Amino acid sequence: MRNIIAFEFISLDGVIQSPGREDEDREQGFTLGGWISRFNDEALSEAIREEMNLSFDLLLGRKTYDIWAPYWPRNDSIWPAANRAVKYVPSRTIDSGTWDKTVILKGDLQAAIADLKSSEGPDLHIYGSSVLMESLMEWGLVDELRLKIYPVVLGSGKKLFSRQSAALDYSLVQCITTSCGVIMTHYKKAEAL
């Protein structure tokens, strides 16, 4: 059985939209892209490198997939594991992907993801993908949260918990604060409340 592990860069007010680049995701008029860049330090970089080198396949929302599919194949030297991984993309709007090893999930997405989770293979890592994350949390399918909480309030943008999800209990595995004030947390799912 695979675990679904969410890796999210999140502001104090819950925003996960467009953390990496200014033009990453301007949907809904978001103009604050690239908001994590000024908080980088060696501890954070090392933690991210370690996570990038875990064994995984990717579970990505369609919009995140659209951002990543043209980027990572051209930047293989930065994260070759992303190109080697199978990319699972739940979508009602596309039938095929442009990135090597892409599998489009159709139909009853909750059942499709639950079946994928119960299959053999590496853990499923999800980044960003705010709409998909809302559904996964509502369905209780996220086994681990690895949140990097940044000391910034953005005021607007796509949020991690913007819709009511199922009541879930997570246990803290690890919490590290970097010299730049980023709180790196790792939670594992406990019992449902």
Q: For every one of its 193 residues, what pLDDT tens digit does the chain have, with 9 covering 90 and above?
A: 999 999 999 999 999 998 888 888 888 888 988 899 999 899 999 999 999 999 999 999 999 999 999 999 999 999 999 999 999 999 988 999 999 999 999 999 999 999 999 999 999 999 999 999 999 999 999 999 999 999 999 999 998 887 766 677 899 999 999 999 999 999 999 864 4
pLDDT confidence of residue 166? 67
Q: Which CATH entry fits the domain spanning 4-192: 3.40.50.1000, 3.40.50.300, 3.40.430.10, 3.90.79.10?
A: 3.40.430.10
In this prediction, residue 193 carries a pLDDT of 43
List of long-range contacts for 112-121, beta carbons under 8 Å, 24+ apart: 113/4, 113/59, 113/88, 113/139, 113/141, 114/139, 114/141, 116/2, 116/59, 116/88, 117/1, 117/2, 117/3, 117/4, 117/141, 118/1, 118/2, 119/1, 119/2, 120/2, 121/2, 121/57, 121/86
Spans of all domains in the chain: 4-192
Report the amino acid identity of residue 42: E
Statement: the pTM of the whole predicted model exceeds 0.75: yes
